[in-house]
Amino acid sequence: MKMLFLFLLMLIVRVAGVDAQSDITKLSVTYEVHYLNYAEDDSLSRDIAQLDIGTNTSRYYSKVSEWYNFNPVGKAPYPGTKIKNEEVYKNMPNKGLVTAMHWPYWITTKDSINHLFDWQLVEGDSIVCGYPCHKAQTTFRGRTWTAWYTLDLAYNDGPWKLCGLPGLILHAQDSTRQFIFDCTSIEKGDGHTFSFPASKRIRLVTPEKAEELLLFEAADNDAYVYAMSGGRITDRIDAKGRHYKWTPKTAIPYEIFPQNHKKKNKTNPRSRKKK
């Protein structure tokens, strides 16, 4: 059992090492993230994420995951959370790109920041985390997003890939409320350095392929692990020490590509609804 635990832990923990490019944190923004992990879930999961903004770049990541990276056997001070295994870098490692990573197999996508989101500024104002905010909307890869941004913080950045507005995005949600980002604190950066991970394990794929792999990971996790690593999971143990088998699930992705869902229905007859 210990060997199995160590094997799984090795899959999750990131390999140390950094790219030559790095930046110093000027501003740190914390978001409470609520998201629907699987279609079968009865409620939204919750994570705590942080956006570190530097002089020219930014890094968005799970604070819970970051805590575990430095305290692998400790108890995280974030009760009731579930890690969303992702990181997003803007203008890093290359200027003008949004680079997103999904753990533990380094599934990586790149998008051009320029005109990535076609925002429409609409009527509406609110107060988020003490800052006056304006409203904007956009449709991006199968989802319609509403964002609240503040001109008082002149950063065209936000949680996840969201960016391109004339101020920092403090709240955002999609029209189905499957993804909600809510800013809970804004602090002056402590000056710590962040860098893009340097790893030969990085698997660069298209956003369409990334969604396909996400669906595969949830539908047949044992086969996914074997396809990605060549290893096999011989046993699974939950937090209460009970053995269990993976139950096929339907992942809920940020980005929806119709061709992947047509492919899923075609290859899995059981997913079709009976007339």
Q: Is 194 left (phi over 0), alpha (psi -120 to 50) or beta?
A: beta
Q: Which CATH class is domain 2-196?
A: mainly beta
What is the reported pLDDT for 74?
67
Note down pLDDT in tens along the chain; length 275 residues: 433 433 343 344 343 333 448 999 999 999 999 999 999 999 999 999 999 999 999 999 999 888 877 776 767 677 888 889 899 999 999 999 999 999 889 999 999 999 999 999 999 999 999 999 999 999 999 999 999 999 999 999 999 999 999 999 999 999 999 999 999 999 999 999 999 988 788 999 999 999 999 999 999 999 999 999 999 999 999 878 899 999 999 999 999 999 898 765 544 433 334 33
**CA 50 to CA 61: how far, in whole Å?**
6
What is the reported pLDDT for 199?
79
pTM recorded for the entire structure: 0.86
Closest CA to 254 of 160, 148, 118, 157: 160
Closest CA to 249 of 74, 45, 27: 45
Residues found in the chain: 275
Task: Provide φ and ψ at 202, rounded to 5°.
Answer: -55, 130
Q: Assign 4 to helix, strand or coil.
A: helix
